[in-house]
Amino acid sequence: MSGDSAQISRIGILTGGGDCPGLNAVIRVVTKAAILKLGLEVVGIEDGFLGLIRNRMRPLETRDVSNILTVGGTILGTTNKADPTRFATSHDQDGNPVFEDVTQRVLEHVRERRLDAIICIGGDGTMSGTANLISHGIPCIGVPKTIDNDLMHTEITFGFSTAVQTATECLDRIHSTASSHHRVMLVELMGRNAGWLTLHAGLASGADVILIPELPYDIELVCKTCQERSKRGKRFTLVAVSEGARPQGGQQVVDKIVHDSPDPVRLGGVSVVLAEQIAALTRLETRATILGHVQRGGAPIAFDRVLATMFGHQALQLLAARTFNQMVVMRAGRLGTVPLESVANQQRTVALDDPLLAMARDVGTCLGD
């Protein structure tokens, strides 16, 4: 590393949003490199922005991050309900949350802890919260993580490849059950409004039907695919469906509304709805499985361990060079940076001309359109 870091003596590090494999790898490299290479103090901020709001922080030493490279989740904890600009501080007489902007409280805690800069690890929600800190004069560096792979300006985020591997293994297991029982088996995967996880896992498992949010599906076409396979002697169909998939002219299936969350809509249940429709229209035995949070957990695969370490190390190089308010990205296979504000409040979805979609169609995969 190079650069004048004399004016930087203490940094904070937080993990925000949903957990994913590889978070601890970033915490490890940032803490070790900051202490051993730059001679800095490192403060771990607990539970993402909630730690900044409630002043929950603790010093991190090299011993605190030893042996965590292979561990899933985050040793600092995380939450997706702590947006300082809209934080639920109380409830009204009807039980509805009352929101306040507590950014000033966050700034006071940053000053109290004497944090010269903060490294924020997270997805689009975390980067939006980080952009708010930057607008109030707090130097920040972003490190992209999400199993959804939906952050702008980076072709991949750590955690995604592990989630694809986990989802693929689950699809493989359900594939054998579908074949044995001659059933239509639907597997619902995460991803919100982006179909990357479903598309990659569906292709890797040889799913017969892949339904993603970017391509609203025609239920009649999906049923036709199942029936034609049955007539050809393929007495089963494996369907990989994203939680954000929706029918042509229809809406996404909402599982619940979390009123005290910055992103209150929780998608889920489209596979159950589809299973009932397919069974009624085709008279084929149909089952649905929602993978849920199993996709988020477990140890990161080797690729994500290396990628997360690369991202974290690049963040420290930016810190050493006093290049703040950037997010680390991977583009064309090379590390780079983009202004962090350019990532906030955006989502990278599957382009309709993505080569993977053409490849899927060419091998006979039904995409519902």
**Positions marked catalytic:** 148
Q: Is 216 exposed, middle or buried (0-12, 13-18, 19+ CB in 10 A)?
A: middle
Q: Which helix (H) or strand (E) holds 107?
A: helix 103-112
Q: What are the percentages of helix, strand and coil residues in the chain, rounded to 5?
A: 35, 20, 40
Q: Which helix (H) or strand (E) holds 116?
A: none
Q: Is 315 exposed, middle or buried (0-12, 13-18, 19+ CB in 10 A)?
A: buried
- The phi and psi torsions of 248 (rounded to 5 degrees) equal -60, 125
Q: Provide the pairing of β-strand 184-189 with 237-242.
A: parallel
Tokens encoding 257 = 């509304």
CB 267 within 8 A of CB 258: no
Long-range contacts of 63-70 (CB under 8 A, 24+ apart): 64/31, 65/24, 65/27, 65/28, 65/31, 65/32, 66/28, 68/24, 68/25, 68/27, 68/28, 69/24, 69/25, 69/28, 69/305, 69/309, 70/299, 70/300, 70/305
Q: Which helix (H) or strand (E) holds 128?
A: helix 124-135
CB 70 within 8 A of CB 251: no
* Residue in the block written with tokens 């039907």: 209
CA 62 from chain center: how many Å?
A: 27
- The phi and psi torsions of 119 (rounded to 5 degrees) equal -100, 120
